[in-house]
Amino acid sequence: MNCFSSVVMCLLFIIVDSITYSSVKNNYKEILRYYDSFDTVNSSTTITPIQDQTQAINVTMGMNMYALSGFDAVSGQIEIVGSLQMSWTNEVNLSSINTSTLEIYVMSVDAIWTPSIILVNAIDTVEKVGSSTYRPRYNISTGFVEWNPRVILKAACDPDVTYYPFDRQTCSFIFTPWNYNYDQVTLALSSSTIDTSQYDLNSAWSLVETNAETYISGENYYANFTITIQRQYMYFTINLVMPILLLSAITGFAFLLPAASNERIGFSITCFLAFVVLLQTVMQFLPESSSPMSLLCYYIVVMMMFSSAVCIINIMILRLYKSAERGDDVPKSLKTFVQIIQCTICRRWKESLTTEDKAELNVDWETVGRLLDIFFFIAFLAAQGGFTFLFLLPLGLRS
Ligand SMILES: *[C@@H]1O[C@H](CO)[C@@H](O)[C@H](O)[C@H]1NC(C)=O
Ligand SMILES: *[C@@H]1O[C@H](CO)[C@@H](O)[C@H](O)[C@H]1NC(C)=O
Ligand SMILES: *[C@@H]1O[C@H](CO)[C@@H](O)[C@H](O)[C@H]1NC(C)=O
Ligand SMILES: *[C@@H]1O[C@H](CO)[C@@H](O)[C@H](O)[C@H]1NC(C)=O
Ligand SMILES: *[C@@H]1O[C@H](CO)[C@@H](O)[C@H](O)[C@H]1NC(C)=O
Ligand SMILES: *[C@@H]1O[C@H](CO)[C@@H](O)[C@H](O)[C@H]1NC(C)=O
């Protein structure tokens, strides 16, 4: 037993010891010979490395995502840090290679055939992906080549801010071997998702799902890697949505200010202007696009309409109070209106009174003014509350 293991050890030693620099270098030369890389022309690195040139070479792609470095809704860009896994099998004649040396050879990108894959929807580059810093690993027993360059991908992504700040964005990274048609290079995927096992959490966006698929369009094969991200909405809820809701809540209270203090119009205008400021703030975060527009913008505009209506109605009511000072009579139409309101509001506990009785009741300007104040205060509060509920509840429920 002892003797046997020492013989094995010895054999191993011989094999390991005998992989010399020059034998490895010879193999490199042999590999490169098939690409004519020592010629002056170097054209062979563009021929697909398969024996039957009527067939396509099958490149398997995968993607690994390490970080989301940014999503800019205003300019419609997404940037991620990741790596691409590309692999293919070279069918070159390696019969003269000495297989008793190393199995894996790290090659220079320019010395062997590599698929010239580009990111179709890239924003900042038209070059092929994969810097020459990252080198393919060549397995000489099968001709299998693996190339995993790290990449920083900046792609165009059309933002959908309808549900801002509870929005989800879906962005695609579309790759294609630009110079080769689908009958020369085909793409396959190593997985139907993006590998996110080494993904670093982002504080502004959370990763919801990833997807990968291939398709043929026109003459080319495409690989489509998609990521879906969800905005972390807490920051915007506290700093943007809450102020808007609070401001909406106080607009209607203009009706409760004493008419004599002359503060009502100033208060309404201040509310209106505060909405303008909040609208400007929201617009900073949104693209200048009309389709689709953010529901939050519509909400603010409707609230601005409410506050201008508050302003106009208050001017009318203040005129009523002034009429009282002039000692005019309450017009018949206004009396009827007041009666209708009184009837509606107080029907339950004033059932004993008949309409005729009330017509004879003393309806003076003071009563009319106070009644209208209360009526409009409740009406506005209810309308705004109902509108807010209808508008923001579905928005919030998406999160
Ligand atoms: C193949 O490589 C082994 C180990 O480096 C060496 O011993 C052997 O002579 C080589 N064979 C040829 C034909 O070069
Ligand atoms: C051919 O490739 C070699 C090695 O990569 C390089 O040194 C040489 O400049 C290339 N020749 C041409 C004409 O591109
Ligand atoms: C390419 O390779 C993948 C997996 O390696 C395989 O599923 C697919 O059938 C191959 N496609 C072609 C056209 O050979
Ligand atoms: C591979 O190359 C060797 C010599 O380099 C040659 O003898 C052999 O016929 C070739 N095989 C094929 C299938 O072309
Ligand atoms: C090279 O390819 C062979 C055949 O597929 C495989 O058995 C071997 O493990 C590979 N070598 C390495 C270092 O991956
Ligand atoms: C990429 O895939 C996503 C998700 O499947 C899909 O929505 C999108 O339309 C695809 N893009 C293209 C250009 O096919």
Tell me the CA–centroid distance for residue 54 and ligand 3, in Å.
Answer: 16
Quick check: is 1 in a domain? no
Tell me the CA–centroid distance for residue 245 and ligand 2, in Å.
Answer: 67
- Choose the final residue of a domain: 231, 251, 279: 231
Report the C-alpha gap between 309 and 15 in whole angstroms. 92
Let me know whether 94 and 224 are in one domain: yes
Q: What is the pLDDT of residues 2-28, one digit of tens each?
A: 555 555 554 444 455 567 778 888 888
Task: Count the residues in the chain.
Answer: 399
Let me know whether 368 and 274 are in one domain: yes
Among candidates 78, 236, 235, which has minimal Cα distance to 164?
236
Closest ligand to residue 227's CA? 6
Q: Report which protein residue has its CA nearest ligand 2's atom 11.
A: 40
CA angle 314, 264, 300 (to 5 degrees): 80
Quick check: is 11 in a domain? no
Does the CB atom of residue 45 touch ligand 2 within 6 A? no
Let me know whether 42 and 62 are in one domain: yes
CA atoms within 13 A on the CB side of 376: 23
Does the CB atom of residue 104 touch ligand 5 within 6 A? yes
Let me know whether 151 and 300 are in one domain: no
Are the C-beta atoms of 35 and 44 separated by less than 8 Å? yes
Quick check: is 10 in a domain? no
Token pair for 301: 């505009």
Tell me the CA–centroid distance for residue 137 and ligand 5, in Å.
Answer: 11
For the beta carbon of residue 67, count every other beta carbon within 10 angstroms.
Answer: 15
Q: What is the pLDDT of residues 120-167, one digit of tens each?
A: 999 998 999 999 999 999 998 888 999 999 999 999 999 999 888 899
Quick check: is 315 in a domain? yes
Q: How much is the pLDDT for 1?
A: 43
Quick check: is 341 in a domain? yes
Q: Report which protein residue has its CA nearest ligand 6's atom 8.
A: 172
Let me know whether 220 and 313 are in one domain: no
The tally of domains found in the chain comes to 2
Let me know whether 389 and 341 are in one domain: yes
Among candidates 241, 357, 234, 223, which has minimal Cα distance to 295?
241
Residue 199 pairs in a beta bridge with none
Closest ligand to residue 106's CA? 5
Which residues contact ligand 1 via a Cβ below 6 A?
18-20, 23, 98, 100-101
Q: How much is the pLDDT for 5?
A: 53
How large is the C-alpha radius of gyration of the chain? 37
- Choose the final residue of a domain: 171, 202, 231: 231
Let me know whether 161 and 213 are in one domain: yes
Quick check: is 12 in a domain? no
Quick check: is 304 in a domain? yes
Q: How much is the pLDDT for 398?
A: 72
DSSP for residue 49: S
Which residues span the domain enclosing 238? Answer: 234-398
Substitution candidate for ligand 3 out of 52, 54, 60, 180 with most atoms within 8 A of CB: 60
Among candidates 152, 147, 146, which has minimal Cα distance to 119?
152
Q: Report which protein residue has its CA nearest ligand 3's atom 1.
A: 58
Tell me the CA–centroid distance for residue 33 and ligand 2, in Å.
Answer: 13
User: Maximum Cα–Cα distance for the chain, whole Å?
Assistant: 127
- Choose the final residue of a domain: 186, 210, 231: 231
Q: How much is the pLDDT for 98?
A: 84
Tell me the CA–centroid distance for residue 110 and ligand 4, in Å.
Answer: 25
Quick check: is 13 in a domain? no
Let me know whether 202 and 264 are in one domain: no
Tell me the CA–centroid distance for residue 170 and ligand 6, in Å.
Answer: 9
Q: How much is the pLDDT for 312?
A: 94
Token pair for 105: 């050879």
Let me know whether 293 and 154 are in one domain: no
Does the CB atom of residue 211 touch ligand 6 within 6 A? yes
Percent of the chain with pLDDT over 90: 52
Does the CB atom of residue 89 touch ligand 5 within 6 A? no
Does the CB atom of residue 77 touch ligand 6 within 6 A? no
Let me know whether 239 and 384 are in one domain: yes
Report the C-alpha gap between 251 and 132 in whole angstroms. 63
Let me know whether 173 and 192 are in one domain: yes
Let me know whether 176 and 306 are in one domain: no
Which residues of the chain carry a pLDDT beneath 70?
1-18, 36-44, 343-362, 399
Does the CB atom of residue 368 touch ligand 2 within 6 A? no
Residue 85, domain CATH: 2.70.170.10
Substitution candidate for ligand 4 out of 95, 98, 140 with most atoms within 8 A of CB: 95
